[in-house]
C-alpha cells in the first residue's frame, strides 16, 4: 500500500479523478480502504492539536480532495461526515464555528427532531394506505450547510436555508413513491419551485428520487 502523501499531483482538479482511481486500485482487498479511512478519521480528530498550521491545512485539504471523495463513492456516509466536517473546521474555522453554533442553538437535540418527524411521517403514510416503506431523518451537518451557503444560497444567512432538517421516504416501488409525495403535499404546503422529479428525469449517474420542500 502506497502512502497517499507520497503521491505527487499537480493541477489537482485535472488529475483528481485519476488519483482517486489509482488509490482504489492500490487496494486489492477492500478492507484496506476501510483501514485507511479509519486511520484518516483518527488523524482528523487529532489534527486541530498539530503544532504546524501549514501542515494542518495541507492534511485537511488532502482529506477533502481524496479521502472524502472516496468515502462518498463507496457510500460510507458516516465516514464522509467525520472527514469533511473535521477538515472543514481546520480549513475554515470561523465559518465552522458560526454554523455549528447556529445548529446547536436551533437543532441542538437533532435526534429528537428527526425522531419526531420520522414518527409523524410514518403514521401519516400508514393511515393513508402506504405499506412496506421506511422513513429516515437527519439534520444538515456544518459542512453541508456551508456548501449550501456557498453555492445555492450565496449572500444569504443560515436561516434562509429551507432544508436544515430533511427526511427520506423509501418505498417498494415507483407508484408508492409518487403516492407518498401526494400524501405529504396533501397535509403540508409544498414550496413549488423546490419540487424536483429525478424519477421522470434521472440524474446522469442514474440517481432516481423525488425531492420536495414543505412548510
**pLDDT per position as a tens digit, 68-85:** 988 888 888 889 999 999
* pLDDT band with cut points at 50, 70 and 90 for residue 89: very high
Give me the residues paired with residue 170 across strands. Answer: 134
pLDDT at position 92 over 90:
yes
Domains and CATH numbers, the chain: 4-91 (1.10.3210.10), 107-211 (3.30.460.10)
**Model pLDDT, residue 168:** 94
Give residue 76's Cα distance to chain centre.
10
Q: If you average pLDDT over residues 179-199, what whole number do you get?
A: 94
Among the residue ranges 1-15, 47-61, 114-128, 149-163, the one predicted with the least confidence is 1-15
pLDDT at position 8 over 90:
no
**Model pLDDT, residue 162:** 78
**Model pLDDT, residue 49:** 84
pLDDT at position 36 over 90:
no
Judge contact between 70 and 24, C-beta under 8 A: yes
3-class state of residue 203 by DSSP = coil
If residue 211 lies in a helix (H) or strand (E), which one and from where to where? strand 210-211
Question: CA-CA distances (angstroms) from residue 28 to 7, 36, 56, 70, 158?
Answer: 18, 13, 30, 15, 43
**What tens digit of pLDDT does each residue of 99-147 get?**
999 988 888 766 788 888 999 999 999 999 999 999 999 888 999 999 9
Residue with cell 409518487: 178
**Model pLDDT, residue 5:** 47
Residue with cell 468515502: 71
**Model pLDDT, residue 2:** 47
* pLDDT band with cut points at 50, 70 and 90 for residue 18: low
* pLDDT band with cut points at 50, 70 and 90 for residue 207: confident
Name the percent of the chain in helix, strand, coil, to the closest 5. 60, 10, 30
DSSP string, 2-24: --GGG---SSHHHHHHHHHHHHH
**Model pLDDT, residue 123:** 96
Question: CA-CA distances (angstroms) from residue 21 to 6, 70, 81, 100, 111?
Answer: 16, 9, 21, 33, 36
pLDDT at position 151 over 90:
no
Q: Round to whole Å and give the CA distance between 43 and 60.
A: 10
> Per the confidence metrics, is the pTM higher than 0.85?
no
Amino acid at each position: 500500500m502506497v502512502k497517499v502523501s507520497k503521491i505527487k499531483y499537480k493541477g489537482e482538479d485535472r488529475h483528481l479523478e485519476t488519483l482517486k482511481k489509482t488509490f482504489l486500485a492500490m487496494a486489492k482487498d477492500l478492507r484496506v480502504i476501510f483501514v485507511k479511512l479509519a486511520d484518516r478519521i483518527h488523524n482528523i480528530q487529532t489534527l486541530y492539536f498539530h503544532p504546524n498550521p501549514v501542515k494542518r491545512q495541507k492534511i485537511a485539504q488532502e482529506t477533502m480532495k481524496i479521502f472524502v471523495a472516496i468515502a462518498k463513492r463507496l457510500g460510507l456516509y458516516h465516514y464522509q461526515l467525520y472527514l469533511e466536517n473535521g477538515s472543514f473546521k481546520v480549513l475554515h474555522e470561523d465559518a465552522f464555528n458560526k454554523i455549528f453554533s447556529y445548529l446547536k442553538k436551533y437543532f441542538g437535540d437533532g435526534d429528537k427532531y428527526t425522531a419526531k418527524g420520522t414518527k409523524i411521517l410514518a403514521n401519516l403514510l400508514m393511515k393513508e394506505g402506504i405499506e412496506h416503506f421506511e422513513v429516515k431523518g437527519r439534520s444538515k451537518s456544518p459542512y453541508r450547510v456551508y456548501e449550501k451557503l456557498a453555492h445555492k444560497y450565496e449572500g444569504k444567512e443560515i436561516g434562509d436555508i429551507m432544508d436544515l432538517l430533511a427526511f427520506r421516504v423509501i418505498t417498494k416501488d415507483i407508484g408508492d413513491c409518487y403516492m407518498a409525495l401526494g400524501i405529504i403535499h396533501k397535509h403540508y404546503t409544498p414550496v413549488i419551485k423546490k419540487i424536483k422529479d429525478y424519477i421522470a428525469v434521472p440524474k446522469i449517474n442514474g440517481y432516481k428520487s423525488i425531492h420536495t420542500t414543505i412548510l
